[in-house]
Structure 1
Amino acid sequence: MAILAVFIALVIEQLRPLQAQALVYSPLGRLSSWVLERAGNRAAQRGRLPWWLIVLATTVGAALAHAFLWDVHPTIAFAFNVAVLYWATGFSGDHQRFADIDLALRMGELERARTLLGEWRGADSSAADESEVARLAIEQALVSSHRNVFAVIFWFVVLPGPSGAVLYRVARFLREAWARQADAGFGERASFARRAFELIDWLPVRLTAASLSVVGDFEDALYCWRTQSMNWPDKSSAILIAAGGGAMGLKLGMPIHQSGEIVERPEMGLGEETSADHMRGVVRLIWRALVVCLLVLILLTLAGVAGG
């Protein structure tokens, strides 16, 4: 039943992309503000207690709701699973952004591609050349596909009901939302949310990188993963970018123009210099990796049924 719920949620999300701002960010933002206001100033600054309250309330709440609905009728519980998975993913939105950047580059509209990339990444890319735009878009696609699909599916399968998907989505939101408040005197809170998310994401990000490696150049992907990922500030992103670049035979990372400055970054991946011609290749790589993950889930489900 888990694989069917995942498949239906992905199809619905492709046909009707999730309105993340209204359905995810705004509700979670209000919940976060409400908990922080009642936690006291010191607890709000440190972030540990508010983080646990928010994550446990939503995760346990989802598990209890699923158990209750299962008692009412399994079909209703199944529909609840699909609805939560739809809420926790956001694959088609990022896919559309990536496709728009790809189209802009192919049409020679570099300025439009820069604008779209800056809106997607939340960073100024107005001075990026075509190769930089393609590299950054591919890197963002690799990371986003993991956090919007692969990791959500992993935690959905691991924990009962849809609680795992909720756990990952809420932890990710707190990491990103509280990071934006770090400069306002809440650095300790942002640091705790980041460390907690890294712990939750430790195994899923490695399984996603392994999936990308299997469907691409396996040896180069593993080589880049093993030798390059420690040079990147964000370890989770580093593993995905290094493995993805190696799997596709592309050079990612490297210095970029951002906010009027040159930002030094290590080289990730290996092979050809990245261009707009390579962008569709990453889409095929991600879809192949997703198919592999779903096939593995099907096999595990069949093995469980046969063993039972």
Structure 2
Amino acid sequence: MTLISLVLALALEQFRPFNAARFLYQPLVVLSRFFEDRFNDGRAAHGVLAWCLMVLPPVILTALLHFFLYTVSPLLAMAFNVAVLYYTFGFRHASHFFTRIHAALRAHELDRARELIGLWRKHLHDRSPSNEVARLTIEEALLGAHRQVFAIFIVFLILPGASGAVLYRMSEFLSRHWGERTDHEIGDFGTFARKAFYVIEWLPARITAMAFSIVGDFEDAAYCWRTQSTSWPDRNAGILLASGAGALGVRLGGPIHQSGEIVERPELGAGDDADVDFLQSTVGLVRRTVVLYVGVLVFMGISRMAG
């Protein structure tokens, strides 16, 4: 039933994409502002309280609803899980940008590709050369595939019902909206949101990195993970990008042109510089990782039936 729920949710999200920006993130932005306005005094302790009040009730409610529906009918519980997974998946949003950037680079429309990667990353990249745009696109695709699909797979298996998917999506959202802010108004309020997501992301990031290694160049992926990931500011993201770059045999990271400045970043990966051809290789890596995850779930299901 777990496999069926995941496959149905993925299929539904592919054939009828959910507009998360409109129907999910906008209400979450309003809710996060509500809690921030009432709890933010710049102290970390109040950030902990606000995070718990915003995140834990829907997570607990999701688990309770799953158990209640399961006592009524397992099919109702499965339908509920599919619905929650559908609302928490968001890979079509990432793939939409990826596909359009890929097409623009193929057509040598660099200005269009720069505009799209800027919209995706929410930074200005009007001076980025084509290989830099390709590099940034691969990075966003690897992180997007993990955070919009693979991580949801993992937490769905760990926590009851679809409560893990709710926990992951809400903690990821608050990490971006509270934890990554550096303005004076936020103070230390977002510290816990950033740390909480790091802890929640710790295991899924490493499982996905291992999956990238298995379906790609294992030796290079393992080497880059071991030697390069610690240099990236976000350790979990560094592990994902280093292993993904090694699996693809491409160089990621490095300095970029961003909002009129050159931003220095550590280098990740090994092999050739990124170009448009590596975008198709990235698609292949993600697809093979999906197949690997589904294969593992099938094997787990068969093992349970045999047991």
TM-score (norm 2): 0.96
Match of 1:24 in 2: 24
Q: What secondary structure is seen at the aligned counterpart in 2 of 1:251?
A: strand
Q: Does 1:234 align with 2:261?
A: no
- Deviating more after overlay: 17-26 vs 279-288: 17-26
Match of 2:300 in 1: 300
The alpha-carbon distance between structure 1 residues 241 and 44, as it changes in their structure 2 partners (threshold 3 A), is closer
C-alpha separation between the residues in 1 aligned to 2:45 and 2:131?
A: 41
C-alpha separation between the residues in 1 aligned to 2:42 and 2:264?
A: 37
The alpha-carbon distance between structure 1 residues 261 and 34, as it changes in their structure 2 partners (threshold 3 A), is closer
Q: What secondary structure is seen at the aligned counterpart in 1 of 2:127?
A: coil
2:43–2:187 CA contact under 8 A, matched in 1: no
C-alpha separation between the residues in 2 aligned to 1:120 and 1:29?
A: 18
Match of 1:66 in 2: 66
Q: Does 1:108 align with 2:108?
A: yes
Between the aligned residues of both structures, percent identity stands at 48
C-alpha separation between the residues in 2 aligned to 1:23 and 1:228?
A: 38
Q: Does 1:214 align with 2:219?
A: no
C-alpha separation between the residues in 2 aligned to 1:186 and 1:38?
A: 12
Match of 1:250 in 2: 250
Match of 2:281 in 1: 281
Q: Does 1:175 align with 2:178?
A: no
Match of 1:131 in 2: 131
Q: Deviations over 1:176-226 (max 9, x none)?
A: 111465404213122211111000000100000000000110000000000
Q: Deviations over 1:17-62 (max 9, x none)?
A: 1101222112222332333445474678740011111121110011
1:59–1:166 CA contact under 8 A, matched in 2: yes
TM-score (norm 1): 0.95
The alpha-carbon distance between structure 1 residues 188 and 46, as it changes in their structure 2 partners (threshold 3 A), is farther
Q: Does 1:34 align with 2:34?
A: yes
Match of 1:90 in 2: 90
Match of 1:192 in 2: 192
Aligned length: 307
C-alpha separation between the residues in 2 aligned to 1:227 and 1:187?
A: 33
2:44–2:190 CA contact under 8 A, matched in 1: no
1:46–1:188 CA contact under 8 A, matched in 2: no
Q: What secondary structure is seen at the aligned counterpart in 2 of 1:262?
A: strand
CA RMSD of aligned residues (A): 1.6
C-alpha separation between the residues in 1 aligned to 2:42 and 2:129?
A: 45
Unaligned residue ranges in structure 1 (runs of 5+): none
Q: What secondary structure is seen at the aligned counterpart in 1 of 2:188?
A: helix
1:6–1:153 CA contact under 8 A, matched in 2: yes
C-alpha separation between the residues in 2 aligned to 1:92 and 1:284?
A: 16
Deviation, 1:298, is 1.5
C-alpha separation between the residues in 2 aligned to 1:42 and 1:289?
A: 41
- Deviating more after overlay: 40-49 vs 261-270: 40-49
1:175–1:197 CA contact under 8 A, matched in 2: yes
C-alpha separation between the residues in 2 aligned to 1:219 and 1:180?
A: 33
C-alpha separation between the residues in 2 aligned to 1:128 and 1:23?
A: 33
Q: What secondary structure is seen at the aligned counterpart in 1 of 2:189?
A: helix
C-alpha separation between the residues in 2 aligned to 1:121 and 1:186?
A: 22
Q: Deviations over 1:66-107 (max 9, x none)?
A: 122223322221111001001111011211210100000010
